Structures are given as C-alpha cells and as structure tokens.
Structure 1
C-alpha cells in the first residue's frame, strides 16, 4: 500500500464546512485504508492499494469531495515519503520565537515558480522564502501574519486552485 496525504484547500472557511468525521467517512468510502484526519483544516493521511496515477487519484478525490460537500474542491496530493522529505528539509529555524514555519504546496509547478518569482525583494524582517522540491518554504513573522507582502501574494485568486499552505507543526502531526 502506498501512503498519501491530501491537503484540502479552502475548507472550514468562507462557508465551506467539512467535518473531520465526514471527511474520514468519505475517504473510507472511496476504498482507502488507514484514513486519519488531522486538525479541522482539511488534512487527510491515507493508504491506497489501487493502481492509479497520482493525477487520477487527485481527480477522483476532488470529484468525491465536490459531490459530497457541494463545493469546487481542490487538493494538493503528496506521498507520505515526499512529505517526510519536505519536513526534514525545512531550511529555517522552525522554533524561532515570533515566527511561523510554513510550507506552501502546489499541484502546479508553474504556479509555484510564479509565486517565487513574483515575491521580488521581500522584507526579511517579515518574510523569507526558499524553493524546495514541489514546495516553497516560508518563514513569516507572526506580528505581520496575513498582512505581509508574501501572504497577500499567496492569497491571490489565480493561486486558489493549485496551492495550499500548512504550518510545519501540522505536517509533523500528519506524519506521526
């Protein structure tokens, strides 16, 4: 069985409510094993023994989410192995006082490249980023939070379907 992590985008905000128990039921109903949700922000660890491409698996999950919960569902799907590598390779001091350790995931390499290239000269007192394998590592000063220039850039509508952000601590919990 292959281990996967589905990172749902835009749930439990803006009127889209997806309860963890219902999410777990949906994934189990799709035939996945070892289904585990982490926090109430759309994080699902699961196993699959089906022989399908990651793209087909992603599409099947998004379709099921949309049908069950009535919204245009987008996920970023990664393997458990890839997530472990991403967490291990976090390039900043994750314990730095007053800072959020984030990882921005993308299902489209071009979107991540555009984000990284559009970031320009960030104020290192608020935001620092570094490209990784299929991700952008992001350290954000808590006092600036979503008011920082990189946070505003990631929130643009054109990235909605292809990116999602997670705190490094959430990712560690997904691997536990």
Structure 2
C-alpha cells in the first residue's frame, strides 16, 4: 500500500461544496485507509493499493458520482511532499504568500511559464520537479501576472495551487 495526497481542484468555491467528513467518508468507502482531510479546501491524505492512474481514476469517478461535478485531482506521493516543500526556492517572509502549483502533466506546468513576464520585485516564479513555485506579496494572489495566468480556464483541469502552510499540514 502507498501513502498519497489527493489535491482536489475547485472544492468549496463556485458552488461546489463538499464537507470534510463527507469527503473522508467517500475515500473510506473506496477502501482506502488512514484517511485524513486537511482544511476545507480539498486535501486528503490516505493509504491505498494501486498505482497513481488507478487511484486517480477511482477518486475522480467517485467524486463525480457522489457530488455531481466535473471532478479531478492531482495525486502526489506523500513521501514527495516534504521534498517539494523543502525545495521552495524563494525566501519567505511575514509579508508574502508562498505557493506551490501542482500539475497532472508536465506540459501544463511548462505552459504556465511560456512567455510569462513577471515583475520580480513583486512576485517570483520558478519551475521545480513536477511543480511550479510562486511567491507574491500578501493581498496580491489574484492580480499578479502569474496569478492571472494560473487562473486561466485552460489550466482548470490540470493544475491546482496550495499555500506552503497548507502543505506542511499534510505532512
């Protein structure tokens, strides 16, 4: 059995409301063990048999069936998460938000950065191993150049963003 982190996109926004207890129950019904939800933004840590594609497919279908929305997740091996957080390349500070953008496919992450021009005095963006790292001033996480790019509809099904503080809670 492998330990996984499922990062759901678009949960508890835009009319898609899933309570943590219902989400955890769904994962248990799928036969997964050691299920733990973190915050109310679609983060589930669990243990499951099967490879990433099998687990992803089962979770996405179960979410669609149970909650009636076009669900998709990014599945991350739990053991990789600490390295992802540890590899955050920018200095942190009390006036900044530090984020990691996860993708279900490398081309989607690469597309986030194609021809992107950012004001490095405001925000910083860097490609990591299977992720994109992003740091911006508090209060600007929706209006920077990268924020606008990441919010584009074409990335809706392939990327999801988490604050590094949230990621630490998943460890």
Q: Please tell me the TM-score bracket, short chain as reference.
A: over 0.9
What SS class does the counterpart of residue 126 from structure 2 fall into?
strand
1:1-176 to 2 correspondences below 5 Å = 1-48=1-48, 50=49, 52-94=50-92, 96-119=93-116, 121-175=117-171
Structure-1 separation of matches of 2:78 and 2:128: 16
SS in structure 2 at match of 1:11: coil
Instruction: Say if 1:129 and 1:138, in contact at 8 Å, map to a contact too.
Output: yes
Q: Secondary structure at the match of 1:71?
A: coil
Query: Over the residues paired in the alignment, what is the CA RMSD in angstroms?
Result: 0.9
Structure 1 gap segments, 5+ residues each:
none
Question: What do the CA deviations read for 1:42-93 (whole angstroms, capped 9, x no partner)?
Answer: 0000011x2x221121011000001111100010000001111101111112
Provide the rounded CA distance (Å) in 1 between the counterparts of 2:91 and 2:28: 37
- Give the distance between the partners of 2:40 and 2:115, measured in 1 at CA: 31
> Hey, what's the Cα distance between the residues in 2 that align with 1:126 and 1:70?
39
CA deviation string 1:120-160 (max 9, x = no partner): x2001221011111000100111322011110000000000
Specify the SS of the correspondent of 1:110.
Answer: helix
* TM-score with structure 2 setting the length: 0.97
Question: Do 1:98 and 1:143's aligned partners in 2 also have CA atoms closer than 8 Å?
Answer: no
Q: TM-score, normalised by structure 1?
A: 0.94
The count of residues paired between Structure 1 and Structure 2 equals 171
Distance 1:22 1:148 in 2: 35
- Please tell me whether the aligned partners of residues 126 and 144 of structure 1 are also in contact (alpha carbons under 8 angstroms): no
Extract unaligned runs of 5+ from structure 2.
none
User: Partner of 1:91: helix, strand, or coil?
Assistant: coil
